[in-house]
Amino acid sequence: MYRSVYDLRSFYSGKVGRVVRRVLQERIRGFWPETRGLRIMGCGYATPYLRAFMEDAERIIGLMPAGQGAHHWPMPGIKAHYNATPPERNLVALTEEAELPIETNSIDRALLIHDLEFSERPDANLDEIWRVLKSNGRLLIIAPNRRGLWARAEWSPFGHGAPYTASQLHHHLRDNRFIHERTEEALFMPPVKFSLFLQSAKVFERIGQNYMPFAAGVHMVEATKQLYARADHGSGARVTVRRRVFAPKPIPQV
């Protein structure tokens, strides 16, 4: 089941959600440091992370799945530089995951968060992402780590849906014509609401990346479009070739 969009908004409005947003925003910027003039699309519940691109991007689009619901975004007081008049102009659409209302080959960057783990048709979802991405576009999936503690925290959105291992995400991408570029682990702070842990989020992130990658709360997997079929190198098995050729003996005419 999808979590309600209002549950997600409530989480990111709270103390823990704000810390999670800061941690993941910094890591997302590490993947995409330069986004000036690009078209960026967020799928699932990506709006808390799209704010960081509003000053640079040529256009930002937020797509929320029909089963989850949608709400107006940006909220009053958040301004964008691209003809956002008035500043409360809505940039979110409610969509079916396999029918995105986006032009083919029109998106430079696609961010999926709180999306794939809730998807009822993940292959159809990724197929639509492939369609709307430009040939040089990039996809970034943020999904709960099956082995992490956040996948067990039911009070957070990361504790719902189907968590993944990194290899499962890689196989999903390969099966849907994407080329895996790199994977990083993130969100190492434990899923607790104590202020001491929240204040030490950056310390947990630094230590976790270096010494405890298995304890990550989420996988961050970046991929690009596969435009050409992969070359089949074969299995490598030896095949015996016979040199002598036996031809049938002709029947004599009577």
**pLDDT tens string for the chain (254 positions)?**
446 899 999 999 999 999 999 999 999 999 999 999 999 999 999 999 999 999 899 999 999 998 889 999 986 555 544 444 445 689 999 999 889 999 999 999 999 999 999 998 999 999 999 999 999 999 999 999 999 999 999 999 999 999 999 999 999 999 999 999 999 999 999 999 888 888 999 999 999 998 999 999 999 999 999 887 655 555 555 655 555 555 556 666 65
User: Are 55 and 38 within 8 A, CB to CB?
Assistant: no
> For the whole model, what pTM was predicted?
0.84
Q: Is residue 249 part of a domain?
A: no
Q: Is residue 141 part of a domain?
A: yes
**Using CA atoms, how far apart are residues 55 and 218, in angstroms rounded to an integer?**
27
DSSP sequence for the chain: -PPPHHHHHHHHHSHHHHHHHHHHHHHHHHH-S--TT-EEEEEES-HHHHGGGTTT-SEEEEEEETTT----SSPTT---TTT-SSTT---EEEEBTTB--S-TT-EEEEEEESSGGG-S-HHHHHHHHHHHEEEEEEEEEEEEBTTSSGGG-TTSGGGSS--B-HHHHHHHHHHTTEEEEEEEEE--S-S---HHHHHTHHHHHHHHHHH-GGG-SEEEEEEEE--SPPP-----------S----PPPPPP-
Q: What is the CATH number of the domain that holds 73?
A: 3.40.50.150
Q: Is residue 157 part of a domain?
A: yes
The number of folded domains in the chain is 1
User: Looking at residue 73, what is its pLDDT?
Assistant: 92
User: Looking at residue 84, what is its pLDDT?
Assistant: 47
Q: Is residue 235 part of a domain?
A: no
Rg (CA), the chain: 23
User: Looking at residue 181, what is its pLDDT?
Assistant: 97
Amino acid at 3: R
> Checking phi first, is residue 91 left (phi over 0); if not, alpha (psi -120 to 50) or beta?
alpha
Q: Is residue 245 part of a domain?
A: no
Q: Is residue 231 part of a domain?
A: no
For 18, other C-beta atoms within 10 Å of its C-beta total 14
Among candidates 91, 45, 50, which has minimal Cα distance to 64?
45
Q: Is residue 248 part of a domain?
A: no
Domain containing 122: what range?
Answer: 5-225
Q: Is residue 240 part of a domain?
A: no
**Helix axes 15-31 and 201-211, enclosed angle (nearest 10):** 50
**Using CA atoms, how far apart are residues 228 and 250, in angstroms rounded to an integer?**
49
